[in-house]
Amino acid sequence: MGILAYIWRWDIREPLGLGFSLLKPSKRLPETEDGKTFKKPRRPYEKERLDAELKLVGEYGLRCKRELWRVQYVLSRIRNNARMLLTLDEKNPRRIFEGEALLRRMNRYGLLDESQNKLDYVLALTVENFLERRLQTLVFKSGMAKSIHHARVLIRQRHIRVGRQVVNIPSFMKHIDFSLTSPSEVVRPGRVKRKNQKAAAKKASGGDGDEEDENEDHRVL
C-alpha cells in the first residue's frame, strides 16, 4: 500500500510505466479541427496574400486579421461540404437532404438568390460575399453610419437592433435597424445643442431644466 501511495504521489497518470493509470480515463474528446474557429495561413510572409488581407481589413473595418481568417475558415468548410455532396449521386438521400439544407442556409443569410438553387453556386462564393453580409457592412451601406469604423462603434455601443433584439456583434449576419432605445432612433441632439436647448428652456420657464437633461443623459441603450 505504501508503494502505491508513493507512486500515486509522484506520477498520477502513468505510475512508473506500469502500463495503466490510477485515474479514470478522461472524457475529453480528441483534438480535432471541429473546435477551431479560424486557421492561420501556411505561409505567414507571402506578400500577395498580406496585401490582399490588409486591403480587406481596411475596406470592411475588421479589427484584426483573425476576423478575416475566421470568415475564410467558415467558407472553406462550406465549400468542402458542397464538394462532398457533389460527389454523391443526385438521387442520394443524403445529398438531397443536406444539399437543400445548405442552400436554404445560404439563402437565409443573403449569400445566394432564390434562383441559385444548385450546389455549384456554393462553390462560387467568395470571402467578399460573406463580408458584405456582416452587420457592420450593412449598417454602413444603409447610411446609418458615416464610415465603416463608425458602424462598428454604433454596434458595439448597442445602438443597432435586428428585429426586436439588440445586437452588439459586428460580424452578425442579419437584416438591421436601430435599437428602440437608441438615441439614433429618436435623432437625439448633440451635446452643444442640448446645452443650448437647456439654457433656452431654463430662460423661458425659469427652472426644472437640469433634472430633465439629467434623465435624458442616462437613457438605457
Query: Which tens digit of pLDDT belongs to each residue from 33-64?
Result: 567 888 899 999 999 999 999 999 999 999 99
71/101 Cα distance (integer angstroms): 20
Helix (H, G, I), strand (E, B) or coil at 162: strand
Residue 17 to residues 2, 7, 22, 23: CA-CA distances in angstroms? 18, 10, 12, 14
Q: Class for domain 134-206, per CATH?
A: alpha beta
Q: What is the pLDDT of the chain when averaged over all its residues?
A: 78
Q: Which three cell numbers stand for residue 1?
A: 500500500
Quick one: pLDDT at residue 192? Answer: 78
Structural domain boundaries of the chain? 47-127, 134-206
Helices (H), the chain: 2-10, 47-59, 65-86, 93-108, 119-123, 127-132, 135-141, 148-156, 191-205, 209-217
Stretch among 39-43, 118-122, 174-178, 209-213 having the lowest mean pLDDT: 209-213
pLDDT at 212 > cutoff 50: no
Average pLDDT over residues 163-183: 73
78/69 Cα distance (integer angstroms): 14
Band (pLDDT 50/70/90 cuts) for residue 114 is confident
Helix (H, G, I), strand (E, B) or coil at 204: helix
Average pLDDT over residues 148-154: 94
Percent of the chain with pLDDT over 70: 70
37/210 Cα distance (integer angstroms): 50
Quick one: pLDDT at residue 66? Answer: 94
Quick one: pLDDT at residue 181? Answer: 61
Quick one: pLDDT at residue 67? Answer: 94
